[in-house]
Amino acid sequence: MSEISKKWTEIIRKYQKNIYESRKDKRIEEWNKIISSLPKLYSSKAKLHEEVLVSGKWDSQEKIIARDLLLKLAPWRKGPFKVGDIFIDSEWRSHWKWKRFLGLNINLSGKTILDVGSGNGYYGFRMLGHGAEFVMCLEPNLLYLTQFKAINHFIQSNNIAMIPERIEELTFSDKCFDLIFSMGVLYHQRDPEKHMEKLRSHLKDSGRIILETLIVPEQYGEGLKTEGNYANMPNVRLVQTKRGLENLAKKSNLNILSISVPCQTTTREQRSTDWMPFRSLSKALNTQLTKTIEGFPRPERVFLILKK
């Protein structure tokens, strides 16, 4: 954690005392009991390069106990994770997106990384597996924060931390990160320019921003205003076009180094499972699977690499 600034170190230590701090949720007491009750995985070893896997052995009935406790933290949106011989089959096959990221050929070795809107930390753990020095995760959703805490109970890494904060609400800016990831966050923002400005404010002058987001065809001009829902996702404000993303970058004093070819999200990549038993993408598309149920274009996603 040597390259993290004093302000980041202070906020990490504050949440180490109580990861939920002053946040309110009636489930916190139950979540604390779940985390404290998770059994130990013996002879454990974390492997994070090809997948998020913790190998090891359970004693007697502890696998059953561990699986039951982890299921109580459903829905698991990002993953999968393997803990011993427990397979957490998440809604998203997040390793597919990670493989697309790896195709960008960005070196993570020795890098200090900020992961904004990180969910349960799946991608953060993969970053460690590819040599990141330290990963700082921001995730305001307390359930996902608890899932991260549960997984790191088995991985036991001190090179990754998560706090329940939104980057827009941080009262300081320190240019101490080599790479900043914002994946699946932009289209939820009321003020996309402010989001980009905050990302930029924490980036080293030589750093890079990796932005992953939804995109719609150019016929929508700057972007598609959804009035709240897109493919059953709530709080989707604006889905930009390529032109809209280029203009947003320009307004934010950022240069786009590259933008990937759009990749359509399929019902094989995002689907319901025992670990996420609620409606998923198949319920968000029309019967012909050609548009969302709201009549919008099917979800397609792109990666952008940006610099100051």
Q: Which tens digit of pLDDT belongs to each residue from 259-295? A: 999 999 999 999 999 999 999 999 999 999 899 999 9
DSSP single-letter state for residue 270: B
State how far the Cα of 143 lies from the Cα of 19, in Å rounded to an integer: 12
pLDDT of 239 reads: 98
The pair of structure tokens assigned to 253 is 């004093």
State whether residue 111 is helix, strand or coil: coil
Q: Are 153 and 56 a contacting pair, CB within 8 Å?
A: no
- What is the rounded distance in angstroms from the CA atom of residue 273 to the CA atom of residue 302? 25
Strand 134-138 versus strand 160-163 pairing type = parallel
**pLDDT of 247:** 98
Query: Do residues 256 and 308 make contact, with C-beta atoms less than 8 angstroms apart?
Result: no
For the record, the structure tokens of 289 come out as: 């699977």
C-alpha closest to that of 114 among 166, 62, 186, 38: 166
Tally of helices (H runs) and strands (E runs) in the chain = 8, 14
* Beta-carbon contacts of residue 200 (< 8 Å; ≥ 6 apart): 209, 252, 253, 254, 308
End-to-end CA distance of the chain: 24
Task: Tell me what pLDDT residue 60 has.
Answer: 83
**Rg of the chain over all Cα atoms, to the nearest angstrom:** 19
- The low-confidence residues of the chain, meaning pLDDT below 50, are 1
Backbone angles phi, psi at 194, to 5 degrees: -65, -40
Cα dist. 132→163, 172, 240, 257 in Å?
Answer: 18, 24, 30, 22
The number of C-alpha atoms within 13 Å of 243 and in the hemisphere containing its C-beta is 8
Give the separation between CA 170 and CA 168, rounded to whole angstroms: 6
Query: And the tokens for 285?
Result: 């598309």
Delineate the domains of the chain, giving CATH numbers in brackets.
6-19+30-307 (3.40.50.150)
Could you tell me what percentage of the chain is helix, strand and coil, using 3-state DSSP and rounding each to the nearest 5? 30, 30, 40
Asked whether the beta carbons of 123 and 96 are under 8 A apart, the reply is no
